[in-house]
């Protein structure tokens, strides 16, 4: 049987649905609207396997904050009523045939990446449902990313238009230009245009950082900031080697009767 794994970036979906509700957001209504969205996703993708991946709720910001102490600092916390209603939402997901995978200290991004790449590497189809462009570094013929809210594919043409680089150079690009929303600094004074220009002249970030023929305008910005650039790239990169502790059979999609 051909496999089509659909991986839902759960909090990416839930927090957007919750924030879009008029008036005082209600957890039961959030669960209902999320399930409507998920049923549309199931109908359009026809998954053989499906799972919703959730982030852990602890204050531990993980290995990325060890490399960059300000990583995701100041991010708006989850609304208390939504945090308290996670069991309700997960039960609603289970009622429509979608199991939940909760991370235990790892970021959901890394769990999603590990699971998705493990299946895609076997030439099986994987669809990640998320608005997070960080997943686009994983793009390959059998792995795609769907932005449910904008109803678009975050594919290679989209990335090249959006960033000016191919998906496989995204982490090199972020190592230079940074990601302000996640407090990933990149190299001070090098913005998106400069990052694209440098990556058109050199094959990757490391080649730029060790080049002996950099133009003086770039050299003075990079000198002394090499380790910050490397740390920025590392933090923007997804881990794909986590131990998952389950197999595909556990997340096989069975339509509820």
Known binding-site positions: 109, 176-177, 185, 187, 190
Strand-pairing partners, residue 49, are 5, 252
Two tokens, residue 235 = 């933090």
Binding residues for K(+), as ranges, are 176-177, 185, 187, 190
What values do phi and psi take at 21, rounded to 5?
-75, 140
- Mapping DSSP onto H, E and C, the string for 60-119 reads CCHHHHHHCCCCCCCCCCCCHHHHHCHHHHHHHHHHCCCEEEECCCCCHHHHHHHHHHHH
Binding residues for Mg(2+), as ranges, are 109
How much of the chain is helix, strand and coil, in % rounded to 5?
Answer: 50, 10, 40
Q: How far apart are CA 124 and CA 173, in angstroms?
A: 29
């Amino acid at each position: 049987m051909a496999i089509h794994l659909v991986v839902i970036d759960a909090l990416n979906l839930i927090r957007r649905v919750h924030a879009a509700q008029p008036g005082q957001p209600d957890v039961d209504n959030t669960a209902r609207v999320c399930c409507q969205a998920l049923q549309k996703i199931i109908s359009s993708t026809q998954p053989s396997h499906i799972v919703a991946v959730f982030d852990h709720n602890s204050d531990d910001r993980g290995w990325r904050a060890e490399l960059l102490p300000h990583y995701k600092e100041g991010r708006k916390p989850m609304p208390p009523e939504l945090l308290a209603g996670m069991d309700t939402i997960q039960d609603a997901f289970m009622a429509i045939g979608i199991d939940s995978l909760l991370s235990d200290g790892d970021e959901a991004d890394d769990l999603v990446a590990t699971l998705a790449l493990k299946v895609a590497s076997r030439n099986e189809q994987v669809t990640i449902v998320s608005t997070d462009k960080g997943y686009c570094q994983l793009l390959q013929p059998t792995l795609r990313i769907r932005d449910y809210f904008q109803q678009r594919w975050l594919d290679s043409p989209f990335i090249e238009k959006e960033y000016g680089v191919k998906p496989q150079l995204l982490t090199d690009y972020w190592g230079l230009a940074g990601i302000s929303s996640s407090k990933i600094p990149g190299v001070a004074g090098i913005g998106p245009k400069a990052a694209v220009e440098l990556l058109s002249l050199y094959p990757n970030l490391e080649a730029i950082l060790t080049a002996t023929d950099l133009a003086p305008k770039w050299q003075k910005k990079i000198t002394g900031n090499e380790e910050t650039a490397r740390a920025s790239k590392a933090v923007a990169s997804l881990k794909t080697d986590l131990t998952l502790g389950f197999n595909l059979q556990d997340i096989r999609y069975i339509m509820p009767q």
